[in-house]
Amino acid sequence: MKREFNHLNQSIGYRIPDWKSPSHPQRKVMTGRYCRLEPLEVDIHAKSLWSANAMDTEAKSWTYLPYGPFDSFNSYQSWLTEECLRNDPMFFAIIDPKRNAAVGVASYLRIQPKLGSIEVGHLHFSNHLQRTPASTEAMYLMMANVFELGYRRYEWKCNDQNMPSRLAAQRLGFSFEGIFRQAGIVKGHNRDTAWFAAMDHEWPAICTAMQTWLNPTNFDDDGNQKSSLSSLTAPLLHYGIAELE
């Protein structure tokens, strides 16, 4: 990618020939080996999500989200109905095919086709889903869909105090881009936001790394991984691994 200069000898970046805006993501099913993503439907998914979330008896998974935990199924159902049925954010339920039940949610948000930019967020994984091949595959399916549509930039943002999310972003091949200080107030506390992103030209290598990790041959008979995804994606991170406190 060669940068260009204008007639005033000012650097103006590299040219993007024949740029066309990608289409808006569709509410469609995305199916993998370990999980399935379905457009979120309250009548179909709310009860199984509520049941899966109940395993988190300390409500630890809600700490860094701007909503939750919910004190009743009715309040959770109302929140899903009011906030999770839009086109932006566009929520998906993550389905465990063995249980045929929803065990987590994820969404596309800040969808900007004209800029070729889109974000993944509102991640809430139950104990059934955390630290499983299905959780990684869900992120792979969403990322693959984005770049197949023609987006140039796929973003991941999180509270900078949320170390598991920061580590997860880099494990999945998102490069650290910096901290936006005092970016918000969440549940009465300051939020500095850590930014990560993956680019379209980085996707082929990230895709290969994720497919290698997800391949059944990467797991022994007890389900233990042979090669970690972090070891496969670390060389691909554009700015290296962010220093974590």
Provide the residue type at 13 as one letter: G
Question: Cβ distance 197 to 153 under 8 Å?
Answer: yes
Q: Is residue 4 part of a domain?
A: no
What percentage of the chain reaches a pLDDT higher than 90? 92
Q: Is residue 147 part of a domain?
A: yes
Whether pLDDT at 15 is above 50: yes
Mean pLDDT of 135-140: 98
- Cα 215-229-52 angle, rounded to 5 deg: 80
Provide the residue type at 243 as one letter: E
Nearest to 136 by CA among 202, 160, 144, 119: 144
What's the predicted TM-score (pTM) here? 0.94
Q: Is residue 12 part of a domain?
A: no
**Residue 18's pLDDT is what?**
87
Number of domains, the chain: 1
Q: Is residue 11 part of a domain?
A: no
Parent domain of 89: 24-236
Q: Is residue 158 part of a domain?
A: yes
DSSP secondary structure code for residue 124 in this structure: E
Q: Is residue 18 part of a domain?
A: no
Question: Cβ distance 93 to 37 under 8 Å?
Answer: yes
Q: Is residue 241 part of a domain?
A: no
Q: Is residue 244 part of a domain?
A: no
**Residue 238's pLDDT is what?**
83
| DSSP string for residues in 9-35 | --EEEE--TT--PPPPPP---EE-SS-
Rounded Cα distance between 244 and 160, Å, is 9
CATH code for position 155: 3.40.630.30
